[in-house]
Amino acid sequence: MGLANNTDKSLEYILATGREWQFGWYARDRWQVSRNLTINIGLRYEFYPLMTRAGKGLERYDPTTNQVFLGGRGGQPDNVGITVSHKLFAPRVGIAYRIKDKTVIRTGYGINYDPIPFSRPLRGWYPIVVDTARVAPNAFAWEGTIAQGVPNTVGPDLSSGVVTLPGGVAERSPWGGEIHRGYEQSWNFTIERKLPQDVLMSVAYVGTKSTHLLADYDINSGGPGSTVANLPYNLAYGRTVATNMWDGYLSSNYHALQVAVNRSFSHGLMIKAAYTWSHTIDYTDDDGWAAVTWNWAPAFQRNRATAGFDRQHVLQIGWLYELPMGKGKAFAKSGVGAAVLGGWQVNGVMAAYTGTPFTVSDSTALNAPNNAQTANQVNPVVNRIGAVGPGTFYYDPAAFASVGVINTFGSTGRNILRNPGVWNTDLNITREFAVKEKARIQFRGEFFNFPNTSHFGGVSSGNVTSGATFLSIRSASGERQIRFGLRVQF
């Protein structure tokens, strides 16, 4: 129909020239308290001066006046009221205690600060880049016509060091005062035991807590039914697009049981295996250049859920085995047996892990800019059917229903279901033939996805109204591949 519900045009008005330093100092000592007890204690101090532009300072948006202060211009200080911490001390401690000769207990705690350069998330915002967006007032209207085109973007006068933020220009800005740089606390408790056959096994609890994760918070978001017309900063200043204030205000948690089994190469066999049972909870899956799904304050806690990258179970095994036949081995040391069976080696890796979570969405008109709508769950239990391909469903679609009523959030939350997991084994069979003293030929047979297990794509969850494709799987990859080769070494 020649109608557009939004248009956007960007202009790099000032050359983006982020500049910043990072400093770190670290001291550590180790005490052999007794034959069985060792303690490591360290302290790291980090300092991250506030970023600047080449020859200029930073920019800051003031929501109370709708003005942007330009550091180093028109008499404005370089930091325009933004500060950074000078107290980033990060202690680390590790303790190892040996119980007799075959068992060791290890534990540790440490703090690590997020070294993210601010020049990335703050590299191109108003007026460095003037990104003018025009949006329709609600879900049933349009912003303009294709015939009218997209108006040209015009930059402001910078001479005074203070400019008014236009209503259609997107913005990301730190608050005045201190920017809270994120940090992670991590701790662990491990029992390590030497078992028969040169096997070393460890069982560990590992936990982390991340605090002050840097992300956007749109102070111009609306509640259900608000539409663009009733956004708070549209009513105050005519702002119709996101107004992102940026700081470290989010958190995440990780807890895991980690089991490892290792056998160093001995008597022709090496094994490395690891299993992790874990859970990660966060508000968003990124840091720095990140956003949350729900910005409207009464719905904000809906963001806290299982992380989108969480894999509850992960098992990985790697092995290498030399057949005990041939010269210098236990069997078939000479003759035809050694010539046929000697020198063969089998190695491989196996990985099996659960799928990542996803959100079941809906597309009924919500009219709450910078917020999302999810489906209603109508069955208390979502049945996992497990079928794949056209005409089938991986989860029971009858467990969900469209909200149906406009201007309403759905009842479900973020990342409530999981995509299918993966099991994959790669196998390699080799044999070396000695041609001369300094020349060898190696035969290789490589089998990728040796058992030819299916690696299914993600569950289609675009929205509950998508019909036959809703909660179905229509793709797969990773079919078995076999490759043979000869390698000459001289």
22 band by pLDDT with thresholds 50, 70 and 90: very high
Which residues, other chains included, contact 392 with Cβ-Cβ below 8 Å and sequence gap of 6+?
385, 472, 473
The whole-number pLDDT of residue 334 equals: 80
The whole-number pLDDT of residue 331 equals: 81
As a whole number, mean pLDDT of residues 150-164 equals: 88
Top pLDDT among 301 and 363 is at 301
- Model confidence at 340: pLDDT above 80: no
- Model confidence at 230: pLDDT above 80: yes
The whole-number pLDDT of residue 178 equals: 97
Top pLDDT among 267 and 246 is at 246
The whole-number pLDDT of residue 144 equals: 80
163 band by pLDDT with thresholds 50, 70 and 90: very high
- Model confidence at 147: pLDDT above 90: no
Top pLDDT among 295 and 329 is at 295
- Model confidence at 275: pLDDT above 70: yes
As a whole number, mean pLDDT of residues 86-106 equals: 96
Do strands 269-282 and 313-322 pair parallel, antiparallel, or not at all (unpaired)?
antiparallel
Least confident of 233-237, 338-342, 377-381: 338-342
Top pLDDT among 329 and 481 is at 481
- Model confidence at 6: pLDDT above 90: no
As a whole number, mean pLDDT of residues 403-408 equals: 91
Query: Where are the domains positioned within the chain?
Result: 1-310, 355-490
- Model confidence at 114: pLDDT above 90: yes
Q: Are 208 and 164 in contact (CB under 8 A)?
A: no
The whole-number pLDDT of residue 55 equals: 87
Tell me which amino acid residue 152 is. Answer: N
- Model confidence at 134: pLDDT above 80: no
336 band by pLDDT with thresholds 50, 70 and 90: confident
3 band by pLDDT with thresholds 50, 70 and 90: confident
Q: How far is Cα 106 from Cα 190, in angstroms, rounded to an integer?
A: 5
As a whole number, mean pLDDT of residues 89-112 equals: 97
The whole-number pLDDT of residue 341 equals: 79
149 band by pLDDT with thresholds 50, 70 and 90: confident
Sort 227 into a burial class: Cβ within 10 Å, 0-12 / 13-18 / 19+: buried
- The mean pLDDT value of the chain amounts to 92
Give percent above pLDDT 70 in the chain: 100
- Model confidence at 462: pLDDT above 80: no
Distances (CA, A) of 232 to 220, 246, 285, 368: 6, 18, 27, 12
The whole-number pLDDT of residue 282 equals: 98
Backbone angles phi, psi at 208, to 5 degrees: -140, 150
The whole-number pLDDT of residue 342 equals: 81
